[in-house]
Chains A and B, each alone.
Chain A
């Protein structure tokens, strides 16, 4: 009878840790650029240029309706075939950025649409420049509303980064593949890696919560005021446009 034996994996502990760190790094890079891309696309889709709107729709729908694995193959092998060879880490991060960009754009767009028309008109009446209306009146409140949806999307993306192992980009799953072929302890290796991914999701949830607390001062102020007045804080307005299972 086979029994689980984790001891051969002990020497590989630093390798696992490095893999987890690389996954985290890849996710952070992709989230950062993906969020910027998503914001730009969300605004571009609202622009009164039919061509631009159409382009954004094509981009969003193409990314959302094809598997991430195919996207990453297309990008990595496709670019290699026309002579543009890039490191696997860069290719994986780029594919993830493109993927996150489409999902984030759709989520942010839902937030932008929830900004009351009157607020934008009021800002226009006050003579605020266009970019300030976009940044202060539209983008910031809508990000606050869709923040939970965004973070769960990023979490899904962190998991989808496992797929980058298929172009042998160095991250946790790729590390696991190497370790299991070294030790022949495949089941144990993947159980350890599953636990590491769980821990990573907890870390990302924690980071997301801390960043949210820091960023949305208004939310904190409202809660503090409610506490001082002895009332329960009002339910924060939020929009959940979580695309179940996202990415993949």
Chain B
């Protein structure tokens, strides 16, 4: 073993946080779009569409993200698309988070009282108008805490992208550890960086949740 932990190692680790954030943001935006579509399908009045969305949600939630990551990564490559690891990881995370976000948001939409829909119908709003102008703005308040909570999970999940060779925080830690075997220090540091990213979001989500639940305390 040569050398100890130097400042250049630390700089390398800190720089790789940027890639963790890029991947998280990419996955969150793509997953949000996908999740919105899944949510719309799930509450659709067309029974077959709702059922397809249900099967999608159940199937994705039953498969580990790691396996999904491998399927996307190898799946794209055997069909001749050599994509960068960022794209494969982003795609897998999108599929995964769209199922979870779709399910979370569906719950929030369905928590809205039925008379809201009926009143909108009386005002002759179309289904899309009802959703956009009446239901979604109110459901947002309910949806924000679990969505932020999921964002925490998403940041943690990006650590799995290290497996297909995307150099983010965890991968950077592994690379340094391979050269100067000091796992306690390095992975402790990596864990601490994740904690710094996730803890404020967790607290924020929790405090919003508490505010929503004031009535039944």
Give me the interface of A with B, judged by CB distance under 8 Å.
2, 61-62, 64-71, 73-74, 77-78, 80-82, 159-163, 165-166, 173, 176, 180, 186-187, 190-191, 193-194, 197-198, 201-202, 243-246, 248
Contact = CB atoms under 8 A, between A and B. Distances in A.
A69 B173 CA distance: 11
Contact of B67 (A65, A190, A243): A190
Interface residues of B, number: 47
A2 B77 CA distance: 10
Interface string B77-91: 011100000000000
Interface stretch (B116-124, B131-139, B177-185): B177-185
Interface string B60-78: 0011111110110011001
B100 interface: yes
Given A65-B195, A81-B181, A173-B67, 8 more contacts: A62-B195, A67-B157, A74-B191, A162-B67, A165-B66, A173-B64, A248-B156, A248-B157
Contacts of A68: 156
A190 B162 CA distance: 18
B197 to A, nearest CB: 8
A81 B16 CA distance: 24
A186 B67 contact: no
Contacts, number: 135
Interface string B157-191: 10110110000001001100100011110011011
A180 B78 CA distance: 13
A159 B198 contact: no
Given A198-B63, A244-B153, A187 B188 contact: no
Nearest to B187: A74
Interface string B27-41: 000000000000000
Nearest to A70: B191
B94 interface: no
A159 B191 contact: no
B194 A193 contact: no
Given A2-B79, A66-B194, A160-B64, A74 B159 contact: no
Nearest to B200: A65
Contact of B182 (A73, A81, A173): A81
